[in-house]
Amino acid sequence: MTRQLVLGIETSCDETAAAVVSEDREILANVVFSQIDEHQPFGGVVPEIAARAHLSLLDGLIERAMREAEVDWSDLSAVAATGGPGLIGGVIVGVMTAKAVAIATGLPFVAVNHLEGHALTARLTDDVGFPYLLLLVSGGHCQLLEVEGVGRYRRLGTTIDDAVGEAFDKTAKLLGLGYPGGPAVERAALEGDPARFKLPRPMVGRPGCDFSFSGLKTAVRQTVSRIDQPSSVDVADLAASFQHAVAGSLRDRCRRGMQLFADAHGAGRPFVVAGGVAANAVLRADLSALSGEMGMAFVAPPPALCTDNGAMIAWAGLERFRLGLTDALDFAPTPRWPLDPNAQIAIGAGVKA
């Protein structure tokens, strides 16, 4: 019997990506083009430029992924694309391309929630079984979720203002480290003293599992403005102090989430981190230590599969396809698509008492 293979397409932000994965968890090809040169002059992602770049790059990347995987259209079981959430222009490009492939080849189409792509990556890389606790940390999101199955998520906490990746990106900008911000802050912090600047560790000690990062961002801005002409040592120390504060906040919130999760599902289940910020080595080490302390098995996909890629979309598409969860060709791309539809919108809620 031939094994199931799915082509996955990702275009929701500034990575144009295509990949082919198999049901037995092999990544046959994973081609990612990061639009760094396109957005660097603007210090951040420009949605219109991203959409145009996706449009001109995607066909060639799909061709390359198919060639590297050494597969033909007739070898595939389905074609999957990110259907949202994300920058709508890019999402439309990916969805329209996948639909065109589906029409031309007769393959089923699967619209994948980008967040579900991140959420299920640990099943591709580490064969993690349900249920597990997930910390999803990316440029647009910061959530703790109980993952009970494909399409079955219960949100335990979320950010009430900025996403953690956004805080990394803003901090990079304030420190003159440019775009893309997260990796630049991590690199600068390597040489820095995390204890030099006392920055707030948002939400620490508060009930619940929500996050907040806008106060920390403001504290970084105020600190930068107090230093006249920051030296490279100042920048490194501030980057390290910022990262240290983020780690402290994430640790406190995750510890609470772990307690709630253990109450519901028993001890010893996996704690999974996912999303671009989960590529950060300092945060990974910190959260791994916390997992050990709390008796949970720590799972972090390799950094290249934490940041946006096509393999995560192909895999989530494959998981959905196996369950018969394909989509009609009138599927409408969507900029908003929460994983837990029952969770309240928290962004803009401000700091809760």
Provide φ and ψ at 29, rounded to 5°.
-160, 145
* Side-chain half-sphere CA neighbours of 104 within 13 A: 9
Q: Which does 279 bind (CB under 5 to 8 A by kind): ligand KG4, Zn ion, none?
A: ligand KG4
What is the C-alpha separation between 165 and 182, in angstroms, rounded? Answer: 7
CB of 114 to Zn ion, least distance (A): 6
Helices and strands in the chain: count of H runs, count of E runs: 11, 10
Q: Which does 169 bind (CB under 5 to 8 A by kind): Zn ion, ligand KG4, none?
A: ligand KG4
Stretch in the footprint of ligand KG4 (CB under 6 A) among 27-35, 55-63, 93-101, 276-284? 276-284
Cα distances from 196 to residues 3, 161, 244, in angstroms, run 55, 26, 11
| Range 60-79, binding Zn ion (CB under 5 A) | none
Q: Which does 181 bind (CB under 5 to 8 A by kind): ligand KG4, Zn ion, none?
A: ligand KG4
Terminal-to-terminal C-alpha distance of the chain: 58
| 13 contacts: CB under 8 Å, gap ≥ 6 | 45, 50, 86, 87, 90, 139, 140, 308
Output Rg (C-alpha) for the chain, integer angstroms. Answer: 20
DSSP state of 344: P
- 3 state SS of 159: strand
Residue 172 identity: A
Judged by CB under 5 A, does residue 308 bind Zn ion? yes
Among 22, 138, 158, 223, binds Zn ion (CB under 5 A): 138
Judged by CB under 6 A, does residue 139 bind ligand KG4? yes
| Range 289-328, binding ligand KG4 (CB under 6 A) | 307-308
What is the C-alpha separation between 15 and 22, in angstroms, rounded? Answer: 22
Judged by CB under 6 A, does residue 83 bind ligand KG4? no
Query: Which among 122, 229, 236 is positioned nearest to 184, based on CA atoms?
Result: 236
Judged by CB under 6 A, does residue 8 bind ligand KG4? no
Among 5, 13, 95, 128, binds ligand KG4 (CB under 6 A): 13
What is the C-alpha separation between 149 and 230, in angstroms, rounded? Answer: 48
Among 66, 93, 112, 277, binds ligand KG4 (CB under 6 A): 277
Residues near Zn ion (CB under 5 A), total: 2
Residues near ligand KG4 (CB under 6 A), total: 19
User: Closer to ligand KG4 at the Cβ: 166 or 327?
Assistant: 166
Q: What would the two tokens of residue 4 be?
A: 């199931």
Among 169, 237, 252, 319, binds ligand KG4 (CB under 6 A): 169
Q: Which does 311 bind (CB under 5 to 8 A by kind): ligand KG4, Zn ion, none?
A: none
What is the C-alpha separation between 353 and 341, in angstroms, rounded? Answer: 24
Cα distances from 130 to residues 107, 144, 243, 269, 346, in angstroms, run 29, 15, 31, 9, 26
CB of 103 to Zn ion, least distance (A): 27
Stretch in the footprint of ligand KG4 (CB under 6 A) among 55-63, 64-72, 142-150, 174-182? 174-182
CB of 230 to ligand KG4, least distance (A): 20
| Range 185-214, binding ligand KG4 (CB under 6 A) | 186
CB of 275 to Zn ion, least distance (A): 6
Judged by CB under 6 A, does residue 19 bind ligand KG4? no
Among 272, 280, 327, 337, binds ligand KG4 (CB under 6 A): 280
Q: Interface with Zn ion by CB under 5 A: which residues?
A: 138, 308
Q: Interface with ligand KG4 by CB under 6 A: which residues?
A: 13, 138-140, 165, 168-169, 180-183, 186, 275-277, 279-280, 307-308
